[in-house]
Amino acid sequence: MNNKNISKAVFIALIGIGLASTPSYGRALTAFEKDGKKLMITKGCSSCHQLTKLPAAKGLVGPPLDNMAAQNYIAGVLPNSRENLIQFLLNPQAFHPDTAMPTPNLSKQEAQRITDYLWKE
């Protein structure tokens, strides 16, 4: 194999690696994520929070929820992870006693679905 062909092979391999590691921001919502989107409205999350891709979410009380997966902390006190967000949604006062967020009366599965949706958006 000559240098030109090696360069082409390396270039193609790098493109493949880049495509494989690219987040799937443009993909359609999964069924779980769609459930989470519906729950954001039916459980009242959208009345306090804003979320760009959810037109019903125009609240001004809670923080915006865009790019949730990229946030460092939940409610400014809890290191951000999927599991921590699920636990926070189930009982916000356990992590931040002075939070304005009410306990939303979610099942663990509902909290997981909302987390699925927020992690996608």
Phi/psi for 53 (5° steps) reads -85, 10
Stretch 23-37: mean pLDDT, rounded? 80
With bands split at pLDDT 50, 70 and 90, how would you rate the model's confidence at 29?
A: confident
* Pure H helices in 22-107: 31-42, 45-48, 82-90, 92-95
Q: pLDDT at position 19, please?
A: 43
The domain made up of 29-120 has a fold known as Cytochrome Bc1 Complex; Chain D, domain 2 (1.10.760)
pLDDT in tens, 65-78: 999 999 999 999 99
User: Against a cut of 0.85, is the pTM above it?
Assistant: no
Q: How far apart are CA 44 and CA 49, in angstroms?
A: 9
CA distance 5 to 16: 16
Domain boundaries, the chain: 29-120
